[in-house]
Structure 1
Amino acid sequence: MPENRPPTAPSPHRTTTSEQGSFCFAECVCGWRGPARRSRDRARQDATAHAPT
């Protein structure tokens, strides 16, 4: 009889921010990249909106 296992949950999104010149980007391990922002806080908000907890 086959073992009955619950389905595995998808891997969570893990976001970071990176800087390039005067701009900050939110990035995710899934490949998503947010728009260029001059505000680090706004880039962090983009990341939070992409991967809500």
Structure 2
Amino acid sequence: MEQQDIATGPEEHRTTTVEQGRFCVARCSCGWRGPARRARSLARSDAEVHGAG
């Protein structure tokens, strides 16, 4: 279940958060994948850091 789309930067990385069981993972259209988190807010933070970096 996708929770949020975040468009960032000039390269337009499109990130989403996806729930996998008890965990939430941030993913990007460029192929990047963040660590599994129990808190959605941490997965969203991972996505924001990825977009800024």
Note whether the superposition's TM-score is higher than 0.5: yes
Following superposition, which runs of at least 4 residues in structure 1 exceed 2 angstroms of deviation? Answer: none
Report the count of equivalent residues. Answer: 43
Structure 1 spans left out of the alignment, 5+ residues: 1-9
What TM-score do the two structures reach when normalised by structure 2? 0.76
Identity of aligned residues (%): 65
Q: Which residue of 1 aligns with 2:34?
A: 34
Structure with bigger strand share is 2
- Once superposed, what is the RMSD of the aligned Cα atoms? 1.1
Structure with higher Rg: it is 1
Q: Using the alignment, how far apart are the partners of 1:16 and 1:40 within structure 2? A: 11
What TM-score do the two structures reach when normalised by structure 1? 0.76
